Amino acid sequence: MSRKTVKKALSKGLEEAELVDFDELSNPWTTLKLKDGTILKVKIVVQGVLRLNRYDEHGFPAYAIKSTNVLRIAELPEHLRRKSQKPGVT
């Protein structure tokens, strides 16, 4: 396996990091019920993983993850709905 090293701009400045390949083992949705009755489903989609060249007090390496959050409205109470502004959509 070849190692790919990149320079990454982090909060502490430019830092060397190693791109790490990964396999997604699972990606479940988190379901949230809001106080207004709305039910949201949220999940994170990981696009890349970097192992940084620094370690915590236990010797574990630090990682940076490039990701996107996906949000879906699973249920929405009728009183929160608004009529569509697009012609032909109700």
* Sequential DSSP letters for 17-76: EEE--------PPEEEE-TTS-EEEEEEEEEEEEEEEEE-TTSPEEEEEEEEEEEEEEE-
66 CB contacts (<8 Å, ≥6 apart)?
46, 47, 48, 49, 50
Residue 82 lies in a domain: no
State pLDDT tens for residues 54-88. 999 999 999 999 999 999 999 999 999 988 777 76
Residue 21 lies in a domain: yes
- The number of folded domains in the chain is 1
Residue 37 lies in a domain: yes
The answer for 35, left when phi > 0, alpha when psi is -120 to 50, beta otherwise, is alpha
Residue 19 lies in a domain: yes
Residue 89 lies in a domain: no
State pLDDT tens for residues 1-15. 456 666 666 656 667
Residue 56 lies in a domain: yes
pTM, full prediction: 0.68
State pLDDT tens for residues 42-51. 999 999 999 9
